[in-house]
A and B are shown apart, each in its own frame.
Chain A
Amino acid sequence: MIDPAQAGLRESATFDRATIAAIQRAAETGVYDIRGWGAKRAVPHFDDLLLLGASMSRYPLEGYRERCDTDVVLGDRHASNPLHLDIPITIAGMSFGALSAQAKEALGRGATEVGTSTTTGDGGMTPEERGQSKHLVYQYLPSRYGMNPDDLRAADAIEVVLGQGAKPGGGGMLLGQKISERVAGMRTLPAGIDQRSACRHPDWTGPDDLTIKILELREITDWQKPIYVKVGATRTYYDVKLAVAAGADVVVVDGMQGGTAATQEVFIEHVGIPTLAAIPQAVQALDELGLHRKVQLIVSGGIRTGADVAKAMALGADAVAIGTAALIALGDNHPRYADEYAAIGSAPGFYDDFQDGRDPAGITTQDPELAARLDPVEGGRRVANYLRVLTLEAQTLARACGKAHLRNLEPEDLVALTIEAAAMARVPLAGTSWIPGQGF
């Protein structure tokens, strides 16, 4: 086989090899591509922002001597029992079904070890995750699979899910390979079918109805639990305003880089906006309502490092949530599985077929033998380690900016490397005072 570059062959930018492969796959199978993960295309992101460390005009804090606190209270607007977390990095909603019971337990163990929350997903609450999670957020989804008022009362917060960044406007799916007897039983479905989740809630439509739905959830739980509303990032300014007007204590905004266990490729890559573009819209909405920092904002979608955490918080988030990164911490896409990835047509760094249940790392599977590969205790240790590193990194950067608490980071601490990022994040292009869209 010749080397195309050496031979002077030219690849089409429009019809590149991935596009050609996708067309040929579609022609062969007649079915659209379904995969996991989030958007893989390059979009403006936190890497396009830089923090301005202190020098003459600002005092930094001593890295190993002066405190930089990290705690956050979520949901104290109406709930009598808000969440008090030690770090502002939470685990995003991921279902038992999409993930193995061992993975869910490991996430709970890791989160609990460092004093943060984890979240259920479509399909209900498992005893494993409730048992191992000090702070557990219960997702209230359109499908209501496994929805049980006893679990609602056992949760520490309730997250009304309107959408997620990977597929705003789309319902969930879980293919038959992962509908084991236990998963089917929890969801009241026949085992082995391709499960389709609804994209709209079955008993309310629009923000006025949501107001009443939130009232009902508060009444059922005696006004104890914080109520979150989660939206996929699209018309974020309006969605946040409406969610807050409906009574949300916390708004969760998930950008298009946010992950999924199974969604159409075309949906993942072409619907929604980048996390970077969504945060300023959400903060503007909260500011205009006079509720920024009173209704907390959790941001997710592409959080990988403490730098991402610090930048999201500087833009106005009260906390962040991680999903894909937490799975990677558990061992997803690890090179030790290279041969097994190759056997199913993938490779470390590329594996995204979470939908087919053959995950060599035992995370996105319901196969008992594969799932048994993941030790929940060891997995929990890895997740806790990773969360500690994120926190330490964010603290390092915050101290450099002279902040004694992560929440004190502010947009003034940021500049952008590109015009696109400057426009989306609404911070100046580095070395200038220019924020595109806001004049010179």
Chain B
Amino acid sequence: MVALNGSSVQELMKVDLASTSVRELNAELHAPTARRYEVHNPRGAEAIAVGLRHAIEVEIHGPAGYYCAGMNMLADVVVHGSVGTGVAENMMSGSVRVRGDASQSAGATGHGGLLVVEGSASMRCGISMKGIDIVVGGDVGPMSAFMAQAGRLVVCGDAGDGLGDSIYEARLYVRGRVGSPGADCVEKEMRDEHVAELGQLLADAGLPHDPGEFRRFGSARRLYHFAAHNSAAY
């Protein structure tokens, strides 16, 4: 993590991916000379704004492809459009906001930071999440939060089948219907601390829902050790 040199950076840089390559963009973002970036004409390109590690702001105007903002650290990225597979995968810190829908594996394996998908997210949202917070304004597809280890997933719409399959210690909040909970995932009591943390997550995401409308899911912790009687659960 390197702090920006306050005296030598410009406030805003505009990058047009119609005339600039993703390689050139990422190289600039890895050694930034501006505090804020506007990226135009992304046209679904892969690996836009990946590996950021400075506290900069990046706004992408249009749809982005796979792994947009992958492995983000410190930066705040906004996509004015939809994103492909693996948005903010393995994010460590900072924030990523998608003002459209997200494809599969949104926020996969993320260790920290906040991912907001204002639309819906496809299958495996939050798969193997390790501390990231994910707030989805719409629905999430099947097998979301599969093997989720830590962090919080908030679903303001419905969740598909197999929610939280083989989950560890992540906490899941769902406002709508759950197709079915996955192996070892169970509904749990919403205690005061859960209402409070959910309220904070919704506020951070800018979504005006009542935390009281959500249900909480988490691990029954029955599969934490190999045992013969669990064979049918796998």
Closest chain A residue to B31 by CB distance?
Answer: A222
B149 touches A189 (CB 8 A): yes
Known interface pairs A203-B109, A216-B47. Does A176 touch B225 (Cβ–Cβ under 8 Å)? Answer: yes
**Among the listed B46, B53, B228, which residue makes an inter-chain contact with A216, where contact means beta carbons less than 8 Å apart?**
B46
Bound CA span A204–B46, Å: 13
Give A194-219 as 1s and 0s: 1 = Cβ < 8 Å from B's Cβ atoms.
10101000111000010011011001
Known interface pairs A147-B109, A202-B109. Does A30 touch B46 (Cβ–Cβ under 8 Å)? Answer: no
* B215 located at the interface, meaning its Cβ lies under 8 Å from any Cβ of chain A in the complex: no
Q: Which residues of A contact B23 (CB under 8 A)?
A: 219, 223
* B227 located at the interface, meaning its Cβ lies under 8 Å from any Cβ of chain A in the complex: yes
B51 touches A221 (CB 8 A): yes
* B127 located at the interface, meaning its Cβ lies under 8 Å from any Cβ of chain A in the complex: yes
Which of B12-20, B64-72, B189-197 touches A?
A: B64-72
A202 touches B108 (CB 8 A): yes
B70 touches A216 (CB 8 A): yes
Q: State the Cβ distance, B11 to closest chain A Cβ, in Å.
A: 25
Interface size class of A (residues with CB under 8 A): 35 or more
* B85 located at the interface, meaning its Cβ lies under 8 Å from any Cβ of chain A in the complex: yes
Report 19 cross-chain contacts, Cβ distance below 8 Å, ordered by A residue. A144-B128, A144-B130, A147-B111, A149-B51, A149-B71, A152-B71, A153-B51, A187-B149, A190-B169, A193-B168, A193-B225, A194-B225, A204-B86, A212-B67, A215-B47, A216-B47, A216-B50, A219-B23, A219-B47
Q: State the Cβ distance, B93 to closest chain A Cβ, in Å.
A: 11
Bound CA span A222–B131, Å: 26
A190 touches B109 (CB 8 A): no
The total of Cβ contacts below 8 Å across the A-B interface reads: 107
Q: Which residues of A contact B46 (CB under 8 A)?
A: 212, 215-216
Interface size class of B (residues with CB under 8 A): 35 or more
Of A149, A188, A203, A216, the most chain B CB neighbours within 10 A belong to A203
**Among the listed B70, B71, B89, B226, which residue makes an inter-chain contact with A194, where contact means beta carbons less than 8 Å apart?**
B226
A188 touches B111 (CB 8 A): yes
**Among the listed B53, B67, B224, which residue makes an inter-chain contact with A190, where contact means beta carbons less than 8 Å apart?**
B224
A216 touches B66 (CB 8 A): yes
Q: Which residues of A contact B166 (CB under 8 A)?
A: 196
Bound CA span A212–B46, Å: 7
A202 touches B27 (CB 8 A): no
Closest chain B residue to A148 by CB distance?
Answer: B92
Q: Which residues of A contact B47 (CB under 8 A)?
A: 212, 215-216, 219
Known interface pairs A149-B90, A188-B149. Does A203 touch B226 (Cβ–Cβ under 8 Å)? Answer: no
Q: Which residues of A contact B27 (CB under 8 A)?
A: 222
Interface contacts beyond A194-B225, A198-B147, A209-B85: sample of 7 additional A-B pairs, CB < 8 Å, sorted by A: A31-B226, A149-B51, A149-B73, A202-B127, A204-B85, A216-B50, A219-B22
Bound CA span A403–B147, Å: 52
* B105 located at the interface, meaning its Cβ lies under 8 Å from any Cβ of chain A in the complex: yes
* A284 located at the interface, meaning its Cβ lies under 8 Å from any Cβ of chain B in the complex: no
Give A151-164 as 1s and 0s: 1 = Cβ < 8 Å from B's Cβ atoms.
01100000000000
**Among the listed B50, B53, B150, B228, which residue makes an inter-chain contact with A188, where contact means beta carbons less than 8 Å apart?**
B150
Q: State the Cβ distance, B114 to closest chain A Cβ, in Å.
A: 17
B1-53 residues with Cβ-Cβ distance < 8 A to A are 22-23, 26-27, 30, 46-47, 50-51, 53
4 smallest CB-CB distances across A and B, nearest first, come from A30-B228, A220-B51, A203-B86, A144-B109
Q: Which residues of A contact B175 (CB under 8 A)?
A: none
Of B22, B53, B65, B89, the most chain A CB neighbours within 10 A belong to B89
A220 touches B71 (CB 8 A): yes
B131 touches A188 (CB 8 A): yes
**Among the listed B53, B66, B71, B228, which residue makes an inter-chain contact with A31, where contact means beta carbons less than 8 Å apart?**
B228
Q: Which residues of A contact B71 (CB under 8 A)?
A: 149, 152, 220
Q: Which residues of B contact A212 (CB under 8 A)?
A: 46-47, 65-67, 85
Known interface pairs A144-B128, A202-B127, A202-B128. Does A219 touch B169 (Cβ–Cβ under 8 Å)? Answer: no
Give B103-141 as 1s and 0s: 1 = Cβ < 8 Å from A's Cβ atoms.
011001101000000000000100110110000000000
Bound CA span A132–B50, Å: 29
Q: State the Cβ distance, B133 to closest chain A Cβ, in Å.
A: 14
Q: Which residues of B contact A204 (CB under 8 A)?
A: 85-86, 105
Known interface pairs A189-B149, A203-B105. Does A213 touch B168 (Cβ–Cβ under 8 Å)? Answer: no
* A143 located at the interface, meaning its Cβ lies under 8 Å from any Cβ of chain B in the complex: yes
B51 touches A148 (CB 8 A): no
* A6 located at the interface, meaning its Cβ lies under 8 Å from any Cβ of chain B in the complex: no
A193 touches B30 (CB 8 A): no
A219 touches B51 (CB 8 A): yes
Bound CA span A219–B23, Å: 7
Closest chain A residue to B85 by CB distance?
Answer: A203
Q: Which residues of A contact B51 (CB under 8 A)?
A: 149, 153, 219-221
* A29 located at the interface, meaning its Cβ lies under 8 Å from any Cβ of chain B in the complex: yes
Closest chain B residue to A223 by CB distance?
Answer: B23
